[in-house]
Chains A and B, each alone.
Chain A
Amino acid sequence: MLLGPALALSAILFSIGVAGVIIRRNAIVLFMCIELMLNAVNLAFVALAQLYGVAGWVIVFFVMTVAAAEAAVGLAIILAVFRHNQSIDLQNVNLLHG
């Protein structure tokens, strides 16, 4: 069953992902942290599917699809940003800074 430990692991992984988003400035590593958070949420869905039935697995499918779409569009944006100022450090992305 392992519902409690799985949910605890999910919470820890999600928190590590949030910490990564806060402490890193590299745009690609930021995206990797977002993928980590999505994976933590998938783990929570799979753990709870043991109680609620297979609907949780279907939701995991949709989360993976959205993650793939988000990765494709996000990496294309990173590519465009890199062409614009030759860096993907988020300190240099300040067009809207005023």
Chain B
Amino acid sequence: MTELVFYLFAAVAVLSAAMCILQRSPVAALIWLVQTMLALAAIFVLLAAEFIGVIQVLVYAGAIMVLFLFIIMLLNLGGRRTTDIRGPAGIGAAVVVVGLLLVELGALWAYTPARLTREVAAAAGPLEAATAFSGGRAVLEETARRGVVGAVAEPLFRTYLVPFELTSILLLVAIVGAVVLAKRSV
């Protein structure tokens, strides 16, 4: 049942992504992208990451996409009828590059969990295979112990505290940069 739902949402995500890059109007492309992100949020929930799914809807499909929509409205691009898709040369280049990329990613995909386990076990390092691979239950155990939000919050505010604080500096720099760039007289 879970797999059926997964493949349903995966099909929705792929089709919406394809429609997103083929739509002539930026607004239509954006709506298809939002559709892709909502399907991905459902897939996150299926992969036992409920909190990430909620954040995906709130932050990505909500805030960031509305930002894009604001810019499209501000520049008055909604009703353009001329296409901006490149000609046959561009599409040929895209086919070649994407084909190569898919071959490479397929080679990476051959890294099945069993092979990962074997290689982690063989390599001497801080990661022990027995603790790292608890039969795919690692996340479920953590969630059962601390709750859906607590499982994210605990490593975020302990192990990754310094990167978390650096993130706030990054956001501050981005805000100042955006204001400086968008100001009329620089």
Pick from A6, A33, A39, A83 the residue with the most CB of B within 10 Å. Answer: A39
Contact indicator A58/B43 (Cβ below 8 Å): no
Which residues from A are CB-within-8-Å of B121?
none
Which residues from A are CB-within-8-Å of B30?
32
Q: Which of B59, B109, B160, B178 contacts A8 (CB 8 A)?
A: B109
Bound-state Cα–Cα, A73 to B72, Å: 15
Which residues from A are CB-within-8-Å of B154?
54
Chain A residue with Cβ nearest B146 = A54
Which residues from A are CB-within-8-Å of B29?
29, 32
Q: Which of B18, B90, B139, B170 contacts A49 (CB 8 A)?
A: B139
Bound-state Cα–Cα, A43 to B17, Å: 14
Q: Which of B55, B97, B182 contacts A76 (CB 8 A)?
A: B182
Distance in angstroms from B55 CB to nearest chain A CB is: 7
Bound-state Cα–Cα, A31 to B43, Å: 23
Contact indicator B174/A23 (Cβ below 8 Å): no
Chain B residue with Cβ nearest A28 = B26
Bound-state Cα–Cα, A52 to B101, Å: 25
Contact indicator A36/B178 (Cβ below 8 Å): no
Distance in angstroms from A3 CB to nearest chain B CB is: 6
Mark out the residues of chain A between 34 and 86 whose CB falls within 8 Å of any chain B CB in the assembled complex.
35-36, 39, 42-43, 46-47, 49-55, 57-58, 60-62, 64-73, 75-80, 82-83
Mark out the residues of chain A between 5 and 25 whose CB falls within 8 Å of any chain B CB in the assembled complex.
5-9, 11-20, 22-25
Bound-state Cα–Cα, A4 to B133, Å: 16
Decide yes or no whether A95 CB sits under 8 A from chain B.
no
Contact indicator B109/A54 (Cβ below 8 Å): no
- In the A-B complex, the 10 residue pairs with the closest CB atoms: A20-B21, A69-B174, A11-B105, A76-B181, A22-B94, A76-B178, A26-B84, A25-B84, A76-B182, A16-B17
- Residue numbers of B with Cβ under 8 A of A are 2-3, 6-7, 10, 13-14, 17-18, 20-21, 26, 29-30, 33, 36-37, 40, 43-44, 46-49, 51-52, 55-56, 59-60, 63-64, 67-68, 71-72, 74-75, 77, 84-86, 90-91, 93-95, 97-98, 101-102, 105-106, 108-109, 112-113, 116, 132-133, 136, 138-139, 142, 151-152, 154-156, 159-160, 163, 167, 170-171, 173-175, 177-179, 181-182, 184
19 contacts between A and B (CB under 8 A): A3-B136, A5-B10, A12-B14, A13-B40, A15-B101, A18-B94, A19-B94, A24-B84, A28-B75, A42-B56, A46-B44, A49-B49, A51-B136, A57-B152, A58-B159, A65-B170, A68-B64, A72-B174, A72-B175
